[in-house]
């Protein structure tokens, strides 16, 4: 990656999403997150963006691929599982109520 290339808004959004993930995992405080997001949006080059996340571990390829393509596919999958469990619970409750009447 050439650090002198101009950063696009998509590049900035990708870095902000990475910072959010690190904040959710407890690597950054909310104050640090806020400061770094400000630096991201004022960055002009890819090199400046890289310095914002230099001290944070890189995302594994599987997580980076799903976050870039699906924008949180893991979160959606977890939500679908919770929804499926809730529906199954309601169905079991309805069957139980019908049997006990």
Span 30-54, mean pLDDT? 94
Q: Is residue 42 part of a domain?
A: yes
Q: Is residue 96 part of a domain?
A: no
Q: Is residue 18 part of a domain?
A: yes
Q: Is the pLDDT of residue 68 over 70?
A: no
Q: Is residue 71 part of a domain?
A: no
Q: Give the pLDDT band of residue 62 (cuts 50, 70, 90).
A: very low
Q: Is residue 74 part of a domain?
A: no
Q: Is residue 83 part of a domain?
A: no
Structural domains in the chain (count): 1
Count each helix (H run) and each strand (E run) in the chain, helices first: 5, 0
Structural domain range at position 5:
1-58
The CA distance from 53 to 100, in Å, is 59
- Cross-strand pairs, 45: 6
Q: Is residue 100 part of a domain?
A: no
Q: Is residue 80 part of a domain?
A: no
Q: Is the pLDDT of residue 10 over 90?
A: yes
The CA distance from 43 to 11, in Å, is 10
| pTM metric for this prediction | 0.58
The CA distance from 24 to 27, in Å, is 8
DSSP code, position 27: S
């Amino acid at each position: 990656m050439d650090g002198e290339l101009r950063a696009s808004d998509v590049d900035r959004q990708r870095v902000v999403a990475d910072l959010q993930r690190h904040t959710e995992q407890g690597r950054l405080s909310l104050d640090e997150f806020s400061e770094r997001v400000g630096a991201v949006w004022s960055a002009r080059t890819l090199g400046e963006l890289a310095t914002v996340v230099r001290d944070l571990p890189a995302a594994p390829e599987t997580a980076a691929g799903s976050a870039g393509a699906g924008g949180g596919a893991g979160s959606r999958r977890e939500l679908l599982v919770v929804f499926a469990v809730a529906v199954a619970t309601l169905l079991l409750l309805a069957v139980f109520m019908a049997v006990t009447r």
